Amino acid sequence: EEGGLERMMQGMKDRGLEPNARSYALLIGDGKQFRDPRTVEEGSNALLEAGVDIDADTYRDVIRAWASLGDAARSEEWFVRMVGEGKQSPEALAVLVESLVMCGREGSERSLDWIDQVVESGMELTPA
Residue-level pLDDT at 78: 95
- Residue 1: pLDDT band by 50, 70, 90 thresholds? very low
HSE (side-chain half, CA atoms, 13 Å) at 78: 33
Q: How far is CA 70 from CA 33, 58, 95, in A?
A: 14, 19, 12
Q: What is the pTM of this model?
A: 0.81
Which of the residue ranges 70-74, 79-83, 87-91, 112-116 would you say has the lowest mean pLDDT?
Answer: 112-116
| Averaged pLDDT of the chain | 85
> Is residue 6 predicted with pLDDT exceeding 70?
yes
Tell me which residue of 33, 125, 39, 111 sits closest to 79, measured CA to CA.
Answer: 111
- In the chain, what are the domain boundaries? 4-120
The pLDDT assigned to 104 comes to: 75
Fold of 4-120: 1.25.40
Task: Measure the CA angle with vertex 87, ends 34 and 69; round to 5°.
Answer: 20
Mean pLDDT on 2-27 = 82
